[in-house]
Structure 1
């Protein structure tokens, strides 16, 4: 039976209050990954796994200079690509993923990045998170991408009890109107980097503390 979230009125109220404050802090928000077109963002998002956006932004300009389109990347020498993205870690698996993605993109969609979730996840190397980033960021489509920051904050704010990314995605979709989905992930992610970090979150400086049910709050430094 498909999972169907049933958030409480309290959860909905808390979630929307949190997002209102996050919008005040981050009126305009976009991914920290550099890109010029949907293909570049799709590639960059795959390469960003298990590394920082800064590392990706340093590594990919040369990759895109040599292979500016999916057609170019699909026929690239894997060893050459590995050298270009070596600094991002897990470079062999990432190379396999982006070459497979590019091949599928050419064969299935003529090299043009599709703008639906169902089509994007048909590409090898592309999961729901990557697809949702592209949909929300490039196409302005209603989507919520769940990464480690989104997962952590959603659980701390008691907007989900799940640890499964797809269920967390559905839980968040249930507490926000569809028209707001595209702005949720990037604001959660940035707040997770700035304040609500994985280790020793800055609870004492958090402007959402009155809304936060997280029990293990970090005390102010002595």
Structure 2
């Protein structure tokens, strides 16, 4: 294993090597991820693919939440020794949107625009992966969008003060909806609030996974004990 790790020119790629996952039977390209040395070592030891998330700043096992794991069948190192091609046995789908492959946006070369016939999200898969996670990753992608055509990009462009103000506004509207006992409005306003909270998290590159971990940490603690612990 050490010989394999030492063959890769880690310094050339800044410590992160691109890793293309490919269906080992059909050879369909499924996704592109990145690995640091530890992620590759874990992958080789376990037989399942681990990646390094640039947005979360941590190593993660493919399918750790969705169950859509990638069992390693083959690994090839390119001629420049700075990228990997991994043949995998994919359980479920590769893309967090519910698509089989992450590469489903076909570019129309004649008109230089994306084909609108994008694969729909499988609602069952989306539910397994988590709508919150899917939305968060979509919001991260909007960082490079045009503020003139994307509301999310417009919020990013205006900055943290505007984002924080919108979160407060939506929280207030949800509070009034709860007070008025308007069920449909409660659902609508709660969705608005969740969206703007996720925009704020994405703006600061704080993954919802960290929020989930904090919630899990609090299980078994009374609210009073947890609050007191923070004040110590």
Q: Confirm or deny a common fold (TM above 0.5).
A: no
TM-score (norm 1): 0.31
Greater helix share, structure number: 1
TM-score (norm 2): 0.30
Greater strand share, structure number: 2
Identify which of structures 1 and 2 has the higher relative contact order when contacts are C-alpha pairs closer than 8 Å and 6+ apart. Answer: 1
